[in-house]
Amino acid sequence: MDLVTISENVLRDCLGAKAGEEVFIVTDDTRVSIAQALYEGAKNLGCEAMLTVMKERELNGEEPPKAIAEAMKAADIVICPTAKSLTHTNARIQAVAAGTRVATMPGITEEMFSQGAMTADYSAVEKLTAKITEMLTECKTARIEKDGCVLTLDLEGRKGIPSPGVYREAGQSGNLPSGEAYIAPLEDGVNGEMIIDGSMVGIGKLDAPLKVTIRGGKLQKIEGDKDGKLDVLLANERNATVGELGIGTNEAAILNGIILEDEKVYGTVHIAFGTNTSFGGTNKADCHMDGIILEPTLYFDDKLIIDKGKFVV
């Protein structure tokens, strides 16, 4: 299928776009072809389509211009194919609070738009994502084990968030493609060591693993090839804070070095450093940077959830 036809399917099936609704496409200089296809697709569905292009953001989680943030609140649907993520921004939070359905697509490529996670059975993704989200909300602690490393995360009082790739109701939002359940751990409640061996924002797909040491919720040390590209994480305490625990639930997702899809890979776990205010946390940082853990073993309150990359629930 061509990009416009795919766009029509995405807008209709994932976002429930209807004729007459206002669809606002936010992009940057690097993703105009995808944004243009979404614009044409929205017009073909009878929507009032609008497209704006901004300068590429420097970091994931950096706010868009104020004029764009205001316009996001006024639209029925906002979809954001961009190089850097707008997922964890105040602009998205405020748009959702105003009732906008928002889909963010950080790092999306034309290839990703037409295969992999975008081709998933989203009814199955939605079902598993809901189940894991409920378990995240109900448990008090999580524990990740891999290659002799153990990382414990205090989740008490925090709510799990679903990102199933289906956002048809007012105020729903998440990534596209999607398929993950995630949560903001307590900002001082993450301790231990962990291996990140799938991909890492700032580096991409990893040829060699990284090892992180975390105490009191803060990154103390990161070791491995190309770790110098992650200096921003140690620039201040906010950037060093573990902001997220996420679990991938999309069986069609492919590890390709682009975090938008990588963090959705079925049976993987990811942790992120930095901002988490958009999903129940209190840490507003300069960035939000995820690292993917392949074939992890994961426990919720000592209940085995994933055994070396295989769901057992």
Which residues, at least 6 apart from 166, have a Cβ–Cβ distance to it below 8 Å?
Answer: 14, 122, 126, 172
Domain boundary among 114, 146, 172: 114
- 29 vs 225, which has greater pLDDT? 29
Position 225 scores a pLDDT of 87
What residues contact residue 305 under an 8 Å CB cut-off, 6+ apart? 132, 135, 247, 298, 299, 311, 312, 313
pLDDT at 268: 98
Same domain membership, residue 207 and residue 175: yes
CB of 81 closer than 8 Å to CB of 31: yes
Q: Averaged over 41-58, what is the pLDDT?
A: 98
Q: Are residues 261 and 166 in the same domain?
A: yes
Spatial neighbors of 150 by CB under 8 A, at least 6 apart, are 143, 144, 192, 193, 194
- Amino acid at site 99: G
Secondary structure class of 280 (helix, strand, coil): coil
Residue 263 in this model has a pLDDT that exceeds 80: yes
| Mean pLDDT for the stretch of residues 234-262 | 96
**Checking DSSP bridges between strand 48-54 and strand 22-28, what pairing results, if any?**
parallel
- Together in a domain, 92 and 13: yes
Q: Are 188 and 216 in contact (CB under 8 A)?
A: yes
Q: What local confidence, expressed as pLDDT, does residue 107 receive?
A: 92
Q: What share of the chain is helix, strand, coil (3-state, %, to 5)?
A: 30, 35, 40
Per-residue pLDDT tens for 58-86?
988 899 999 999 999 999 999 999 999 99
Residues 181 and 306 in one domain: yes
Report the CATH number at residue 67: 3.40.1830.10
Sheet holding 269-274, edge to edge: 161-163, 180-183, 242-248, 269-274, 288-293, 199-200, 204-205
pLDDT band with cut points at 50, 70 and 90 for residue 226: confident
Q: How many domains does the chain have?
A: 2
Question: Do 175 and 62 sit in the same domain of this protein?
Answer: no
Q: What is the pLDDT of residues 93-133, one digit of tens each?
A: 999 999 999 999 999 999 999 889 988 888 899 999 999 99
pLDDT digits (tens, 9 = 90+) for 174-218: 999 999 999 999 999 999 999 999 999 999 999 999 999 999 999
Tokens of residue 292, six digits: 């993917």
Same domain, residue pair 106 and 125:
no
> What does the radius of gyration of the chain's CA atoms come to, in whole angstroms?
18
Above 80 in pLDDT, residue 1?
no
Question: Residue 228: pLDDT band by 50, 70, 90 thresholds?
Answer: confident
**Two tokens at 261?**
């899809």
- Name the packing angle between helices 90-97 and 66-74 (round to 10°): 20
Q: What is the pTM of this model?
A: 0.83
Whether 143 and 96 have beta carbons less than 8 Å apart is answered as no
Pair (108, 128) in one structural domain:
no
- Of 94, 114, 134, the last residue of a domain is 114
Residues 41, 24 share a domain:
yes
CA angle 240, 248, 102 (to 5 degrees): 80
Q: What token pair was written down for 74?
A: 């006024």
Statement to judge: residues 266 and 174 lie in one domain: yes
Q: Do 159 and 92 fall into the same domain?
A: no
Q: Quick one: average pLDDT of 46-57?
A: 98
- Report pLDDT for 282: 97
How many C-beta atoms surround the C-beta of residue 225 within 10 A?
12
Domain encompassing residue 257: 120-311
- Tell me which of 114, 130, 145 is where a domain ends: 114
Q: What is the mean pLDDT of the chain?
A: 96
Q: Are residues 66 and 85 in the same domain?
A: yes
Residue 53's DSSP bridge partners are: 27
Instruction: Give the residue among 233, 124, 236, 245 at the shortest CA–CA distance from 190.
Output: 245
pLDDT at 25: 98
Question: Quick one: 272 and 162 in the same domain?
Answer: yes
